[in-house]
């Protein structure tokens, strides 16, 4: 439905307009720059899509939003469609997680976003100057972003059933990237109207931005546990070593929690391993939500997690651990099984705690003490918190 509406609108807009030579020149310039940028960053975009395929966050807004600001509506819509056609033919085709129907839907979303934001600036003869004109550009950018995001979020919800804002709308970094591309699009539009010879130089920041986004995604892929979204063991160890060095230098304290999900094998046996993975992810999210904002959660292996609490004293560690324990007890996790949806209840976690320097002055010693406390919690009946000092 969205695709049909977008196609109809684009055709009507093209047929109803009479274009001037200047408008065709601007159209050709934007399309040429978009194609050149896509070709120069082709390998970057393919790898970026492989690592993290956010449906509507990409570099195309630089060119499509510039088109909204400086082109008649029909040419602006055609620009968006041609950019996505080129990306499909040269970049995304053959990628299993980027099928044609998704590209068509995203292109349709861009067309409708251009239409909605273009209505705000329709009738402009070039870009206006002054405060009022700037407000119109900001308003158009906001409409472009919101309409595009909600159309794609609707698609994600209908296809996957996802409800989490992060799944529907992307992360904060994703949306900051979208805003940045709109700012670059505005700069491109200003250049086309007032200094056309400078417009090709916009390519440089766009290419650098694209590559920097990939670098960030590579860093995340190297440091984040794929199943749970928290730090992997290597990244958590590296971070903890740095924090321990800082604590020693400042003569401050530092807490470590080791957590083990009780009877997790039963979850796998009863509901299946895929359901177990869902439970692990929800537990990891719950731990992250109930520790302090500046604490670091990692997956130690299997159903074991670790938490680093910078600056935490003995009196700080236990309340945090208890808060996590109670939150896990309250969980009700809906999982898919071979017999249909089911709800996992009755989860619990055993937690061992240690504090620097009383629990040890090196990380491995702290982990050993926290691990001993964890096993004491297990042997005492599970679903409890135990803190130990070094023997």
* pLDDT, average across residues 74-94: 89
Position 50 pLDDT exceeds 80: no
**What residues pair up with 385 in beta bridges, in sequence order?**
351
pLDDT in tens, 59-80: 899 999 999 999 998 899 999 9
Residue found by looking up tokens 């067309």 in the block: 111
pLDDT in tens, 243-276: 999 999 999 999 999 999 999 999 999 999 999 9
Average pLDDT taken over every residue of the chain: 87
HSE on the CB side for 257, CA within 13 Å?
36
Question: Does residue 53 come out as left (phi exceeding 0), alpha (psi in the -120 to 50 range) or beta?
Answer: beta
Q: DSSP 3-state assignment of 49?
A: helix
* pLDDT, average across residues 162-188: 84
Position 6 pLDDT exceeds 50: no
pLDDT range class, residue 53, cuts 50, 70, 90: low
Could you give the CA distance from residue 343 to residue 335 in angstroms, rounded to a whole number?
6
pLDDT range class, residue 2, cuts 50, 70, 90: very low
DSSP letters for 142-194: HHHHHHHHHHHHHHHHHHH----HHHHH--HHHHHHHHHHHHHHHHHHHHHHH
Buried b (16+ CB within 10 A) or exposed e, 190-222: bbbbeeeeebeebbeebbebbeebbeebeeeee
pLDDT of residue 15: 52
CATH topology of domain 233-387: Alpha-Beta Plaits (3.30.70)
More confident position, 292 or 127: 292
pLDDT of residue 5: 47
pLDDT of residue 124: 66
pLDDT of residue 171: 76
**Share above pLDDT 70 across residues of the chain, in percent, rounded to a whole number:** 89
**Share above pLDDT 90 across residues of the chain, in percent, rounded to a whole number:** 61
pLDDT in tens, 318-353: 999 999 999 999 999 999 888 889 999 999 999 999
pLDDT of residue 3: 47
- C-alpha separations of 360 from 4, 43, 62 in Å: 66, 48, 53
Which amino acids are annotated catalytic?
303
pLDDT in tens, 199-212: 999 999 999 998 88
In whole angstroms, what separates CA 142 from the centre of its chain? 20
Residue 174 tokens read as: 């994703």
pLDDT range class, residue 225, cuts 50, 70, 90: very high
pLDDT of residue 126: 62
- C-alpha separations of 265 from 6, 195, 219, 358 in Å: 50, 66, 32, 34
Length of the chain: 391
Supply the pTM of this predicted model.
Answer: 0.66
Q: DSSP 3-state assignment of 213?
A: helix
Least confident of 92-101, 168-177, 187-196, 300-309: 92-101
**What residues pair up with 342 in beta bridges, in sequence order?**
335
Least confident of 19-33, 43-57, 229-243: 43-57
Position 151 pLDDT exceeds 80: yes
Least confident of 89-93, 101-105, 141-145, 359-363: 101-105
CB-CB contact of 374 with 259 (8 Å): yes
pLDDT range class, residue 102, cuts 50, 70, 90: confident
């Amino acid at each position: 439905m969205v695709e049909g509406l977008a196609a109809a609108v684009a055709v009507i807009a093209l047929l109803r307009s009479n274009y001037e030579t200047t408008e065709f020149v601007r159209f050709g310039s934007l399309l040429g720059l978009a194609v050149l940028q896509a070709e120069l960053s082709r390998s970057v975009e393919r790898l970026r899509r492989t690592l993290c395929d956010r449906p509507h966050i990409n570099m195309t807004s630089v060119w499509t939003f510039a088109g909204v600001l400086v082109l008649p509506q029909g040419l602006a819509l055609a620009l968006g469609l041609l950019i996505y056609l080129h990306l499909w033919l040269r970049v995304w085709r053959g990628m299993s997680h980027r099928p044609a129907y998704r590209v068509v839907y995203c292109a349709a979303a861009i067309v409708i976003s251009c239409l909605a934001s273009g209505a705000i600036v329709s009738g402009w003869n070039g870009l206006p100057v002054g405060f009022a004109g700037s407000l119109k550009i900001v308003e158009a950018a906001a409409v472009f972003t919101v309409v595009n995001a909600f159309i794609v979020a609707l698609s994600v919800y209908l296809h996957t059933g996802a409800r989490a804002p992060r799944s529907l709308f992307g992360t904060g970094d994703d949306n900051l990237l979208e805003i940045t591309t709109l700012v670059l699009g505005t700069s491109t539009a200003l250049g086309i109207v007032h200094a056309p010879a400078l417009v090709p130089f916009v390519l440089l920041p766009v290419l650098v931005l694209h590559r920097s986004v990939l670098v960030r995604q590579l860093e995340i892929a190297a440091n984040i546990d794929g199943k749970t979204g928290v730090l992997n063991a290597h990244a958590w160890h590296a971070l903890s070593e740095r924090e321990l060095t800082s604590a020693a230098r400042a003569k401050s304290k530092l807490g470590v929690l080791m957590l083990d999900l009780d009877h997790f094998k039963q979850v796998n046996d009863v509901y299946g391993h895929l359901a177990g993975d869902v439970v692990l992810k929800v537990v990891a999210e719950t731990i992250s939500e109930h520790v302090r904002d500046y604490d670091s959660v990692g997956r130690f292996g299997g159903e074991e997690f670790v938490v680093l609490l910078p600056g935490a004293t003995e009196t700080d560690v236990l309340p945090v651990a208890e808060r996590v324990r109670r939150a896990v007890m309250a969980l009700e996790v809906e999982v898919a099984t071979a017999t249909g949806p089911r709800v996992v209840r009755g989860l619990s976690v055993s937690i061992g705690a240690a504090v620097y320097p009383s629990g040890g002055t090196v990380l491995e010693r702290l982990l050993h003490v926290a691990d001993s406390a964890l096993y004491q919690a297990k042997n005492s009946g599970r679903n409890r918190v135990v803190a130990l000092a070094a023997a």
